[in-house]
Structure 1
């Protein structure tokens, strides 16, 4: 079975399973962007700036960089805007070509794939469900002498885990002492109401690189819009590697608009968290045990089977697309990842899981 590498590929998935993509309206729980869509007025705003399509964009994204610097109290020289966080991950892998890379796993597969494509040796630093996906010093302390770079997703994808700030501080300090670059991907930080995030104090560290996304919360993945915060020499080197005009004019305009929509961001985050608590409550009543998550998605095991392929297929046949975990090493399909959507859509998922329970029970 060839599983798609990412979520949010409903057509590819349906073709793979030989299901009619026109037969019913599928609800995509595999995509982990804001279910409420872009901020009100964004479409109209972009329509007013369609002239941006007819000239070359600012290849340095100066206005957007300045807006990010102002919003997060960072110097502009420490920011690099990119064509999605994925481009920035591949630029980092290119910069660190051939080096020894550590990746806390399970996590986003792109770190590993990008580094392998650039001739790096990649080591897995497992964080397991036996300890509730907690990051502990034992997970990294004996590895740092062997590594040049360490990737950490926080909040983590796919577990939704937010790590203990004391442990994170210790990890940063250890990396600083050992001369190991620590890349922290905070693509989902907007969905967390409370947590330890380091953007304002990034300038006090010499070996920390932050990745951020503007497409998750603002539901504009087609715009491909992310940014990186790092020491100025790293930003300069990455900028030299980055293709000219990586960010088109409309994407830059969308970023400027979204940064002004902080009230929308907070409203959506609060609503999603409330919806998640309702989903968790119903799941537990039905006998399921969702994994604790602090963001807009969570892991779920099939309580009736070790592998989730049958449950995955059942949900797909009922018009519900969830995210498989066969390429999240070392999960290997033991969980499905489910995004939190609007209340009425979540209810359809819960109904389907109740029917699955009835199918499985004797």
Structure 2
């Protein structure tokens, strides 16, 4: 299987990794401590295969019913489980977007129905998208904010899409993994987690990976009010799919409110810095993003040249509807961002 993502720091000399959209603050120390305690417990017991303590903590934090939640070894495992259970003949993805939606569909034998986001619209989802949903696909995947573009789908548009999917008996999976980076107020505006009971075809994906800086622990969850769908997904997942350290780190993470505030403030400040620097002769074009990452156009050999300088960025040439010369960079701490800009400017 060809690796299609960022974060491959194992085959090159990488000092600064801007290819993955992970919280630059790193994992909260409360989570590190909890994970270490989980390692000690792991010698004597299996994980709780349903992760009930973590599900209770998510339920209390997100104000949704505990039995709407299913845990996964990262959100990616759950979208694969969703497709393996549903076995759709065709699935819709608005592209460019996270490539695992397509791979999960194909792995389940489905045909991809790709809806091309237009560069002239800044890769925003057009209002005509909802009209195109006529029941020809059994499932639709949307990412909010989208990856790699960083564009969001506003609540009013999401509402129309959710209604249309119910009318056409179409499952709708909305990936909200990057939403917490936008700050609590904006997250509340855009999240549809409180709409689950109104829309039985709705599935929401969330991950601890990005916002809590724990990609190596692998922890995510899906939520839906559709109990037959939940049980179907459980039926295709392996038991004990989330480890004791991951579950305990997740419980600790949900108590780290000040960490989230610090994250949002850092991302807002540092993205402004990066945008100003990129616009000063580095990027050919910069696209509007509300995410903790920036999509841009630049010289085609940028990734290779920066890698020579010890910096890894994400080439977006392998995303559907993008090509050579498109790149995504994550927003990091100020010292790292300054080093990225310094080494970038040193390229001849």
Q: TM-score range by the shorter chain?
A: over 0.9
Contact 1:107 1:156 in 2 (8 A): yes
* Partner deviation per Cα, 1:194-232 (whole Å, 9 max, x = no partner): 141111222221211000001111111111100001122
Distance 1:293 1:232 in 2: 35
**Offset of residue 354 of structure 1:** 2.5
1:105-144 correspondence to structure 2 within 5 Å: 105-144=95-134
Contact 2:150 2:294 in 1 (8 A): yes
Contact 1:273 1:295 in 2 (8 A): no
**Offset of residue 93 of structure 1:** 1.1
* 3-state SS of paired residue (1:145): coil
- The equivalent residue for 2:168 is 178
**Offset of residue 37 of structure 1:** 0.3
- The equivalent residue for 1:11 is 10
* 3-state SS of paired residue (1:119): coil
Q: TM-score, normalised by structure 2?
A: 0.93
Tell me, yes or no, if structure 1 residue 205 matches structure 2 residue 178.
Answer: no
- Residue 343 of structure 2: which of 340, 347, 352 is its match? 352
1:1-362 correspondence to structure 2 within 5 Å: 4-12=3-11, 14=12, 21=13, 26-54=15-43, 55-193=45-183, 194-195=186-187, 196-230=190-224, 231-286=226-281, 288=283, 289-302=285-298, 305=299, 308=300, 310-356=301-347, 359=348
Contact 2:196 2:202 in 1 (8 A): yes
* 3-state SS of paired residue (1:293): coil
Say how many residue pairs are matched: 341
- The equivalent residue for 1:17 is none
* 3-state SS of paired residue (2:47): coil
Contact 2:88 2:138 in 1 (8 A): no
* Partner deviation per Cα, 1:5-29 (whole Å, 9 max, x = no partner): 11001223x3xxxxxx3xxx52110
* Partner deviation per Cα, 1:65-119 (whole Å, 9 max, x = no partner): 1111111111111110111111101101101214210111100110101110111
**Offset of residue 355 of structure 1:** 3.1
Distance 1:42 1:177 in 2: 42
* 3-state SS of paired residue (2:250): helix
Contact 2:34 2:245 in 1 (8 A): no
Ranked by relative contact order (alpha carbons within 8 Å, sequence separation 6 or more), the top structure is 2
Moved more, 287-296 or 106-115: 287-296
**Offset of residue 353 of structure 1:** 2.9
How big is the alpha-carbon RMSD for the aligned residues of Structure 1 and Structure 2?
Answer: 1.7
- Against the structure 1 CA distance between its residues 144 and 263, is the aligned structure 2 distance closer, same or farther, given a 3 Å change threshold? farther
**Offset of residue 298 of structure 1:** 1.0
**Offset of residue 44 of structure 1:** 2.6
Distance 2:306 2:2 in 1: 16
Give structure 1 stretches of 5+ with no counterpart. 15-20
Distance 1:96 1:232 in 2: 14
- Against the structure 1 CA distance between its residues 286 and 179, is the aligned structure 2 distance closer, same or farther, given a 3 Å change threshold? same
Q: TM-score, normalised by structure 1?
A: 0.90
Contact 2:30 2:253 in 1 (8 A): no
* 3-state SS of paired residue (2:314): coil
- Against the structure 1 CA distance between its residues 74 and 122, is the aligned structure 2 distance closer, same or farther, given a 3 Å change threshold? same
Contact 2:130 2:164 in 1 (8 A): no
